[in-house]
């Protein structure tokens, strides 16, 4: 027999549990690792398989989990509610109930295995078409917590024993159940009806289906998989370990694509991040979320980019960039803080101790030191002096500052918004600018200096 046809293959994803070992108010599958929730990692691995249906079984925090599942944009995805978490077998039965008649084979996948790859799932989907059930098994350093695989004398799989139910001899078994299976649908449905709760946890174990099938003379095959691709995450320690593996994969991908990573050990890259060739990531950088970096850019040292867009040849040193966009050859930092809605055009500069929010800084414009720009539209070739700020908030509303091309804002200015600085205009150092400044004008707002000759000597 050949591999199941994809249009007859569905997946049931088990994501109803709370995950008590996490000691969290948030359902386990909603915990994030390397930029995505665990559930999202699993669904992203399933998406390329092009299955007929994907059913996500939800329970704890059902609405949030279902919402997250929908975000994954997997075709033909539905969710089903498991009202009470009576075990993995019971959860699978809830999922099966939603499958349409054309489905003849079913993958069952847990929602807490974020290291799954499409390749591993393809192997499970296509491998050994003759077996009624195929399960992925693995050999961890420490098999603790996993169900142990039991073979007969001839080496055939005859059952799975959960750790809490295992005898001393069974506990010594190194080969464990990865918790991912492919079943013939009809045989699975029939076996699920025979499950009992006669075990240490008082639950309907999906794993018992294996011995039930074997008892009926069906073939069950074990397909070995690397632990680094199938390990489950049941507590915060395992979450951190999974994060390490996912980030390592992301870094290896970037390096293969031509990115220089000076120190992989201190570079943290989420799975969705893209970086162009000949860009250098200096030590101590975090590239998170949907961050994209172009070619020949330099990031770091010590920078955090979250959903940031950095274009070719830009430099970001020792800075935080959150949902902001940095144009080609622009210069950021050290110690800049670019907040959402900020856009630096080509060759613009946000230098040391500069904060920007919802601001565009035009081509070749510069705020080189100690400045705050909020809700500002700044044209090209503007110089924004040291110590100057836009006073965008009056305690009630935010107001806009507009600075036209070629203007020169002196040092230590307060531009009290709403205010407009004309093209080529200059403002004097120390001014509080409350009125619009016309093109090419000088605006100066400060008291005359008094100089008393000899005063200091007489004192
Ligand atoms: C399960 C397997 C174990 C295997 C391990 C691999 C069983 C009984 N045990 O153990 O053999 O080695 O996975 O990682 O299947 N869930 C529901 N509804 C429920 C119970 C669980 O949706 O009623 C979901 C959970 O949210 C989770 C998944 O099923 O995503 C697995 O449940 P979990 O409690 O983590 O099972 P393990 O103890 O890890
Ligand atoms: Ca688990």
Per-residue tokens: 415? 């531009």
Ligand 1 atom having least distance to the Cα of 201? 8
Nearest CA to ligand 1 atom 37: 146
Residues noted as catalytic? 369
List alpha helices for 289-420, DSSP H. none
Asked whether the predicted pLDDT for residue 278 surpasses 70, the reply is yes
Ligand 1 atom having least distance to the Cα of 146? 12
- Is residue 285 within 8 Å of 301, Cβ to Cβ? yes
Which pLDDT tens digit goes with each residue over 70-119? Answer: 999 999 999 999 999 999 999 999 999 999 999 999 999 999 999 999 99
CA angle 207, 96, 5 (to 5 degrees): 95
pLDDT at residue number 1: 56
CA angle 390, 391, 394 (to 5 degrees): 155
Ligand nearest to the CA of 161: 1
Q: Which residues contact 154 (CB under 8 A, 6 or more apart)?
A: none
pTM: 0.94
- Consecutive H or E run containing 357: strand 349-357
- 196 exposed, middle or buried (CB, 10 Å; 0-12, 13-18, 19+)? exposed
Asked whether the predicted pLDDT for residue 281 surpasses 90, the reply is yes
Which pLDDT tens digit goes with each residue over 30-50? Answer: 999 999 999 999 999 999 999
Per-residue tokens: 393? 């908030």
User: Does residue 205 line the site of ligand 1, with CB under 6 A?
Assistant: yes
Report how far ligand 1's centroid is from the alpha carbon of 110 (Å).
7
Choose one of 30, 166, 179 to mutate for the ligand 1 pocket test, by most ligand atoms within 8 angstroms of C-beta.
179
User: Does residue 177 line the site of ligand 1, with CB under 6 A?
Assistant: yes
Position 127 confidence tier, pLDDT thresholds 50, 70, 90: confident
Peptide bond into 141 cis (omega under 30): no
Among 166, 181, 261, smallest CA distance to 14 is for 181
Q: How far apart are CA 360 and CA 382, in angstroms?
A: 12
pLDDT at residue number 365: 98
- Adjacent-strand bridge partners of 419: 401
Mean predicted confidence (pLDDT) in 221-226: 96
Ligand 1 atom having least distance to the Cα of 162? 11
């Amino acid at each position: 027999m050949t591999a199941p046809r994809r249009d007859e293959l569905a997946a049931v994803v088990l994501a109803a549990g709370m995950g008590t070992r996490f000691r969290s108010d948030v359902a386990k599958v909603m915990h994030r690792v390397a930029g995505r929730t665990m559930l999202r990692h699993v669904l992203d691995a399933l998406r390329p398989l092009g299955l007929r249906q994907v059913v996500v079984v939800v329970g704890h925090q059902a609405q949030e989990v279902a919402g997250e599942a929908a975000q994954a944009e997997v075709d033909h995805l539905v969710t089903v509610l498991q009202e009470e978490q009576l075990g993995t077998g019971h959860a699978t039965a809830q999922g099966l109930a939603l499958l349409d008649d054309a489905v003849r084979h079913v993958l069952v996948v847990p929602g807490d295995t974020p290291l799954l790859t499409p390749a591993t799932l393809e192997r499970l989907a296509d491998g050994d078409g003759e077996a009624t059930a195929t399960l992925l098994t693995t050999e961890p350093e420490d098999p603790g917590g996993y169900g142990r695989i039991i073979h007969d004398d001839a080496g055939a799989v005859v059952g799975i024993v959960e750790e809490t139910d295992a005898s001393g001899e069974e506990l010594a078994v190194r080969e464990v159940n990865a918790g991912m299976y492919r079943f013939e649908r009809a045989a699975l449905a029939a076996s699920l009806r025979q499950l009992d709760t006669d075990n240490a946890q008082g639950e309907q174990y999906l794993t018992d289906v294996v011995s039930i099938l074997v008892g009926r003379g069906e073939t069950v095959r074990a397909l070995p998989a690397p632990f680094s691709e199938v390990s489950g995450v049941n507590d915060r320690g395992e979450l951190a370990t999974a994060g390490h593996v996912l980030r390592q994969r992301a870094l290896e991908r970037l390096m293969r694509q031509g990115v220089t990573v000076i120190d992989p050990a201190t570079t943290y890259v989420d799975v969705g991040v893209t970086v162009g060739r000949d860009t250098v990531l200096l030590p101590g950088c975090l590239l998170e979320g949907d961050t994209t970096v172009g070619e020949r850019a330099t990031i770091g040292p010590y920078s955090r980019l979250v959903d940031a867009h950095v274009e070719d040849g830009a430099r970001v040193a020792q800075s935080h960039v959150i949902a902001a966009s940095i144009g080609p050859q622009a210069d950021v930092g050290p110690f800049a803080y670019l907040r959402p809605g900020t856009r630096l055009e080509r060759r613009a500069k946000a230098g040391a101790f500069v904060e920007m929010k919802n601001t565009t800084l035009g081509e070749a414009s510069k705020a080189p030191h100690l400045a705050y720009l909020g809700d500002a539209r700044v044209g090209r070739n503007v110089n924004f002096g040291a110590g100057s700020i836009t006073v965008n908030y009056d305690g009630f509303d935010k107001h806009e500052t507009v600075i036209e091309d070629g203007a020169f804002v002196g040092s230590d200015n307060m531009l009290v918004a709403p205010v407009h600085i004309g093209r080529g205009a200059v403002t004097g150092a120390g001014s509080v600018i409350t009125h619009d400044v016309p093109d090419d004008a000088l605006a100066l707002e400060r008291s005359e200096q008094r100089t008393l000759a000899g005063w200091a000597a007489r004192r």
